[in-house]
Amino acid sequence: MSKSKVYFIREITPENLIKIYEALGIELTGKVGVKVSTGEDGAKGYLKADLIAPLVKKLNGTIIECNTAYPGKRNTAKDHIKVAEKHGFTSFADVDIMDSNGDFEIPVKNGKHLKFDLVGNNLKNYDSMLNLAHGKGHAMGGFGANLKNQSIGIASRNGKAYIHSCGKTKSPTLCWTTKYQQKDFIESMAEAAKAVSDYFEENNKKIAYITVMNALSVDCDCDSHQGDPVMADLGIVASLDPVANDQAFIDMIWNSEDPGAHLLRERVDRQEGRHILPYAEEIGLGSRDYELIEL
């Protein structure tokens, strides 16, 4: 079986973001949704407007997001848009909080934990998607990149609760007191990401995956008290395979000689974060076997 191609550029610039997208050889057509994290109010690491605007404009893309399950400044569409505006996203694109209009179920096939994935209703309006992730650590998932961006990121507020509780509740208040095994949560994220991939494929819609590996904090952009970066920027990776792309990101952290890299490795493994990769491969979302092509 041929290895998945992962493209890599060391220098993080708006021009290189366009260059790596073009290297994928995919044309995202029709109405294009660009899934990025708009960043919690107070976070620092989210992808900045000046970096991503040229690529988003090139695709004539709409920034797509969903509300958070946790209390904060992004758990209602009205507040979420305000934060997106504060962080500069509305200055270059329309921002669509996809669950401002409710949500709908898409099937999870052969899931151990989830029976379905609950996604923002407006996802139906998009013909293709750029999953544009910021690579970083995460307090609950260990790390966040394309797989997390496609699972928790595209799930509606209730859908996020459903993933976080491993399929036990859709309630954003009850999900935080629900008991679950950490590995089950990691697997639930993979199942939700696969459901989105299947939904796009079955409707002849395309997805491309890019992860910007900068501002590498052990905390997520959803953290209003996000810690400073613990290691130097690594670059940008892009692929048509989300598992390969996330695996490349993790491999770069594990192979890094940066003195701060151990902090990120500890955060990832404390939460069993790497388990998402073999499980996502097992359920057919992609391959961990990749060929790295440096541009």
Q: 202 is written with which tokens?
A: 């079955």
Q: Judge residue 11's burial from the number of C-beta atoms within 10 Å of its C-beta, 0-12 exposed, 13-18 middle, 19 or more buried.
A: exposed
DSSP 175: G
Measured CA to CA, the distance from residue 143 to residue 159 in angstroms comes to: 20
Round to whole Å and give the CA distance between 65 and 34: 9
pLDDT of residue 2: 84
Instruction: Classify residue 13: in a domain, yes or no.
Output: yes
**Would 295 be classed as within a structural domain?**
no
Domain-located, residue 265: yes
Host domain of residue 78 = 4-287
CB within 8 A of 193, min separation 6: which ones?
146, 147, 148, 150, 151, 242, 280, 285
- Residue 194's closest CA among 274, 108, 124? 108
CATH number of residue 224's parent domain? 3.40.50
- Whether 161 is in a domain gets the answer yes
Per-residue tokens: 242: 């989300």
Rounded-to-5 percentages of helix, strand, coil across the chain: 40, 20, 40
Backbone φ, ψ for residue 277 (5° rounding): -70, -55
The CB density around residue 193, as the number of other CB atoms within 10 Å, is 31
User: Cα 175–179–185 angle (5° rounding)?
Assistant: 75
Contact 212, 132 (CB under 8 A): yes
Q: One digit per residue, pLDDT tens: the chain, 295 residues?
A: 689 999 999 999 999 999 999 999 999 999 999 999 999 998 899 999 999 999 999 999 999 999 888 777 888 889 899 999 999 999 999 999 999 999 999 999 989 999 999 999 999 999 999 999 999 999 999 999 999 999 999 999 999 999 999 999 999 999 899 999 999 999 999 999 999 999 999 999 999 999 999 999 999 988 888 999 999 999 999 999 999 999 999 999 999 999 999 999 999 999 999 999 999 999 999 999 999 999 9
**How would you write 26-91 as a 3-class SS string?**
CCCCCCEEEECCCCCCCCCCCCCHHHHHHHHHHCCCEEEECCCCCCCCCCCHHHHHHHHHHCCHHH
Instruction: Please count the other Cβ atoms lying within 10 Å of the Cβ belonging to residue 94.
Output: 10
N-term to C-term CA, the chain: 24
Residue 70 is assigned to a structural domain of this protein: yes
In a domain, 16, yes or no: yes
The number of folded domains in the chain is 1
Task: List the beta bridge partners of residue 117.
Answer: 106
Smallest CA-to-CA distance from 148 within 56, 290, 36, 42 is with 36
Q: Is 257 exposed, middle or buried (0-12, 13-18, 19+ CB in 10 A)?
A: exposed
Nearest to 7 by CA among 222, 253, 208, 261: 208
Half-sphere exposure of 169 (CA within 13 A, CB side): 12
Strands 206-213 and 62-65, by their bridges, are unpaired
Residue 293 falls inside a structural domain = no
Number of helices (H) and strands (E) in the chain: give both, helices first.
Answer: 9, 12
